[in-house]
Structure 1
């Protein structure tokens, strides 16, 4: 995709025309990808540290490392719990001070929260105060991520030709494998450069400091678009402005629920192939954590390659049909997941590579799968809250639930957990189809 593409809006000519060249599709895509990659980087740094660092540094009092990791995963979930609150606060800031003020404050909070984690005292130095500060920084990350919603993915989707909506839908999702790849690479480099004692004493802080530089780049990449007159004009044309919750929920709140459940299989898979397996290997496998992380890097590359494929396929068969097919594929994967993850290096490699490919295909189309159901003036807020609820219901507690159940009842629990997400997705897609059919009949 290049900036010479000719996406059209309903009321104007090509986006790359002389008057609108600042909002060429290629520029929007770069802003979306860079912005999302920085956010995912911050979150994956925390997720990886929850396995490799926090049980030793913040929860050394736990009876064993498993318990310490479960405590860390509970703090990990806090960001997703408060994310909808951050979205609503960000919407209010936007109403009062504008989009650029909202985005700047959100990314500043995200960067400061992440860097602040790298400056925290350990449990040995500050006791329970250290855990409270860690939780506050994690809450800051969640509030910031909710508040950083800029509407760029919605703008891309609305301006996309009908036969290329799947392609444009996956662009923002590319940030996930890119963010995971960079976060894992930084941790691998630091771990490989230091002995274990130095890594747990001070080396683990380096990836958190790296986040500040990445967030500065992401902020300028997104502000370059958001502050332009052309961006504001396009957003106004599509009525992409914050809607009041009191108006949205009674009128179309059910679409938020349907949209969240429609993406549940993909969002549940998200942390079950990235964060959870790392904890299982670290706690219950003889395989080197470093070797396993290298395999996850390859898996992230596979996911990044699968996402463009998801766009091409979805444009051929339809996004909802594609999501339904992928949900069934994830269900099949879930049935064999215990055999693969518990089957030594070959099986674990298969789990990661197959899982990441399925993640790339499904997550590439999971964002906004039913967003078009919202009325235009509800779409901006509705899309943001739908994503927030999908993260909360599907991904927030996935690592801690999967680890706890698997440690007590075996890896078969992983299958049950993932299959529950598949069922929710298939039911939600079915309900959505009936609602759309009923709407067409009424028209």
Structure 2
């Protein structure tokens, strides 16, 4: 089997080729900017996700029982995923008209402003439905900004990486997810564990949102320091990584776009089944301390971080598609055993989190790179952004809400079947993925 990590750019050019004037721009330099940017985005994401379980149901929906309040909160959680494709369309237009620097500056300013403003939202007891409406608007703003934060560095990294290390460099952008989760969970664990419950719900929960704003500012300058240079602009132009028109990109790449949505589906679904959903299960249906489970979640994310790194080495040795297939089968097996583990004691929950994050890391580490490799370079910048948006929407946006509803109606095994359906979709997509790659290589 030929590794997609070893597949040349579809236009036949060597991905590591470049002009003499840009040889000093190394993949390692690009990797630093990618990791910083992704970590800030995922930290924002997980701060809101954790608050959706342990803060917003009590502050914004005190008129509902805990389960119903969490359902309402997860509905707001999903708004960002619905808004994200809209943000991509808006900011791709800004990119074409005013350039990548203007696009990133505006997008990250909106993201940081929306995030810090969430920490200022009053409670329902203070502002009534205005508080709920404010959070909904800010969550939509967050989603639009996330759609605009696509900087193309991940695609550039894939094209400039050495041929024998493309799997390794493909996993680098994915490191931001477990790092962001670890920082967010540890910060909330510290606040929940060190403050009285009344103080935490009154003002303590706001600090992670303020920290998110500070991280966004640092990430903005770190990314602009890279993207705004003449060397990187030359690289973007040479690799044809420029924003193409959205309608034309979709028309030309419709089959590949649809395939790209389903290749990472199981990994993205498992992402929320190991982060957001189990926290809601523990919070609603057990008497465990939230602090303890947040520490377990951080531990699991640590193993996930190691698994993401391992996915890069494995992809360069056995092929990216094989790594994704192994992960998808792992998700299928995990979906069957997960309900038994999560409904057990603390040991079962720990095994659930560690095993789940290891399987997640293997698939998540290579999912984006595998999809991007299917697009021609002139379409890759826009097409990769579209696939990312739709993959997160269909694979993860409604996962916590759906899993909690199914669990409430039919029990934990139903949530496992939901995850299993995602694994089946990914396995089917990978089969078509293999046929497409064989056609390209033939």
Q: Which residue of 2 aligns with 1:57?
A: 59
Q: Which residue of 1 aligns with 2:374?
A: 373
**How does 1:65-104 map onto structure 2 within 5 Å?**
65-104=66-105
Check if 1:171 corresponds to 2:178: no
* Distance in structure 2 (CA, Å) of the matches to 1:119 and 1:432: 46
Residue pair 2:185, 2:294 contacting (<8 A) in 1 also: yes
Residue pair 1:241, 1:377 contacting (<8 A) in 2 also: yes
* Cα deviation digits, residues 12-39 of structure 1 (max 9, x gap): 35xxxx8654x33222111110110000
Q: CA offset at residue 8 of structure 1? A: 7.0
* Distance in structure 2 (CA, Å) of the matches to 1:172 and 1:121: 35
Q: Which residue of 2 aligns with 1:263?
A: 264
Residue pair 1:226, 1:232 contacting (<8 A) in 2 also: yes
* Distance in structure 1 (CA, Å) of the matches to 2:410 and 2:388: 31
Check if 1:326 corresponds to 2:327: yes
Q: How many residues align?
A: 429
Q: Which residue of 1 aligns with 2:3?
A: none
* Distance in structure 1 (CA, Å) of the matches to 2:99 and 2:300: 39
Check if 1:231 corresponds to 2:232: yes
Q: Which residue of 1 aligns with 2:11?
A: none
Residue pair 2:87, 2:144 contacting (<8 A) in 1 also: yes
**How does 1:138-177 map onto structure 2 within 5 Å?**
138-177=139-178
Residue pair 1:259, 1:368 contacting (<8 A) in 2 also: no
Q: Which residue of 2 aligns with 1:192?
A: 193
* Distance in structure 2 (CA, Å) of the matches to 1:309 and 1:409: 36
* Distance in structure 1 (CA, Å) of the matches to 2:22 and 2:155: 21
Q: Which residue of 2 aligns with 1:3?
A: none
Q: Which residue of 1 aligns with 2:299?
A: 298
Q: CA offset at residue 434 of structure 1? A: 2.1
**How does 1:8-407 map onto structure 2 within 5 Å?**
9-12=16-19, 20-21=23-24, 23-62=25-64, 64-407=65-408
Q: CA offset at residue 325 of structure 1? A: 1.3
Residue pair 2:323, 2:362 contacting (<8 A) in 1 also: no
* Distance in structure 1 (CA, Å) of the matches to 2:126 and 2:380: 48
Q: CA offset at residue 285 of structure 1? A: 1.4
Unaligned runs of 5+ residues in structure 1 are: 1-6
* Distance in structure 1 (CA, Å) of the matches to 2:394 and 2:56: 24
Q: Which has the higher contact order (CA 8 A, sep 6+)?
A: 2
* Distance in structure 2 (CA, Å) of the matches to 1:264 and 1:371: 15
Q: CA offset at residue 212 of structure 1? A: 1.0
4+ runs of 1 displaced by more than 4 Å? Answer: none
Q: CA offset at residue 91 of structure 1? A: 0.7
Q: So what's the TM-score if we normalise by structure 1?
A: 0.94
Residue pair 2:92, 2:243 contacting (<8 A) in 1 also: yes
Residue pair 1:20, 1:230 contacting (<8 A) in 2 also: no
**How does 1:405-424 map onto structure 2 within 5 Å?**
405-424=406-425
Moved more, 113-122 or 427-436: 427-436
Residue pair 1:337, 1:414 contacting (<8 A) in 2 also: no
Q: CA offset at residue 362 of structure 1? A: 1.2
Q: CA offset at residue 439 of structure 1? A: 4.4
